[in-house]
Structure 1
């Protein structure tokens, strides 16, 4: 880890149908002093993401919040993209800043996993850990392809037997770029091993 870096790895998660329960399972098992920030796209309409973030925050040791435009990522915090808007990340000196945008839906989604993952792929100073969990459709597939142009990226997909809907993980696996396929109950443990 570079001493000047506030954090060296960014964890990004994309999920849809069945996602709130899956996120609760993963985030509630992570320790308070998680050495990385987490950015999350959960397909949801406006207003629902804030209540999801608030509920998860009460159940988790890490801080969970709805992302706000201009925030600087902090380790030990999970940021959920606001429903009805797109979330992307940009370099800001040695730090990384959240951008919340009113741009068009992508893959029929706002927020879209592809929009987030593609912005993360442009961050050159950080390792990336991308996770696709339960959800319908193929959002996140293009983002994984972009992320994997950087050899520092590790991609994990939730296994079929623990998904509510296997669409998004299946689409991710079909790229041939997924490094591991993991049961929901093992994802948090694998995140910690990869951050270790």
Structure 2
């Protein structure tokens, strides 16, 4: 078996040691080298030819963002950012995703040596996804003017249980009547999703129906992400709050610490936040949101599943499809990782498989928006 060759770039000797031990514990991953700063990394990339690079956000001599920009211009390759769970770290990491990083891993602020193993499953899976990611030049999207070495000893990895959406929201055996014809667009995404969502929101007009979004992202990052999307969208973008009314021309992004459900309150739709167990090891979970949309919006909804690792959202999209909603999946070529949309297609819950560049117009056509 050919192993995924990883180069670790981090100024912390402790992080380099912990990451090396953790990644070398996976049978299909090999850490081929480490570097304490971007200048050393540049030489080791030439010498070792790694498949994936992990890159610290804040680095000496040259910061991670500057190095990433040079790297993606001169030698594009899969990069996973190592980010601190801080407001500044969130903003820099979101910029890194704009510059071409595939994904990011959040490192704890305290007791790193004691708690780093809790991130093992996430880190290993993100390295695997990055190794098979589609790396392409970063597009300059138009902005919309808003209206007002040697293997180390193996690490024992504890994998958390994988719950379905049933732990949050029970399935329904009967169809509820739908008293309103107001439309809602539900979007789910993971790896590569922040940039895919940015593209969609930059292309949709201010009078688009209300949009709810579940993107796999830490709670420290979701508010910053919503703010950045608000700057580029003609719609008004929020980090969703509990009982917030869903209105046309507005976008509601799930907080990174809660599931986002859509419920009905009379003739209105509202956001409902749920702090329950992770579903498919994610909170927010796309499956949970899609199930709530299937049950409460039904044929008045459009579901969109974008690039992402794993299968979260695939079963929920099938339920939306069965409830009469129109469903769209991003195609494989334009996806960074065709996990979630690919599984949705496999289950038979997708009406349209569309390149990312064509999804905005497809939505406008389905909604008969000019």
TM-score (norm 1): 0.93
Mark the runs of 5 or more structure 1 residues left unpaired by the alignment.
none
Q: Find the aligned partners of 1:25 and 1:144 in 2 and give their Cα distance.
A: 21
Match of 1:144 among 313, 317, 332: 317
Q: Say yes or no: does 1:123 pair with 2:296.
A: yes
Match of 2:232 among 40, 56, 59: 59
Deviations 1:2-21 (A, max 9, x none): xx95x621100000000110
Structural mapping, 1:17-96, within 5 Å = 17-34=191-208, 36-96=209-269
Greater C-alpha Rg: 2
The reply to whether residue 187 of structure 1 matches residue 359 of structure 2 is: yes
Within 2, Cα distance between the matches of 1:145 and 1:84? 25
> Under a length normalisation based on structure 2, what TM-score does the superposition of the two structures give?
0.50
Aligned length: 190
- For 1:129 and 1:155, the matched residues in 2 are separated by 6
| Structure 1 residue 124, shift from structure 2 partner | 4.9
1:66-97: CA deviation from partner (whole Å, max 9, x where unpaired): 00001010011111000021111111000011
Q: Distance in 2 between the 1:18 and 1:148 partners?
A: 24
Which one scores higher on RCO, CA 8 angstroms, separation ≥ 6?
A: 1
Q: 1:125 to 1:112 in 2, by over 3 A?
A: closer
Query: CA-to-partner distance for each residue in 1:146-168, whole Å, 9 max, x for gaps?
Result: 212222x1110001110011101
Distance 2:356 2:230 in 1: 19
> Contact 1:10/1:126 (CA < 8 Å) preserved in 2?
no
Is residue 299–residue 323 contact of structure 2 (8 Å, CA) maintained in 1?
no
Q: Distance in 2 between matches of 1:29 and 1:113?
A: 22
The runs of at least 4 aligned residues of structure 1 exceeding 3 Å deviation read none
SS for the counterpart of 1:32 is coil
Q: Which has the higher helix share?
A: 2
1:177 matched to 2:343: no
Counterpart CA distance in 2 for 1:81 and 1:162 is 24
- Say whether 1:156 aligns with 2:307: no
Query: C-alpha distance in 2, partners of 1:79/1:17?
Result: 19
Higher share of residues assigned strand: 1
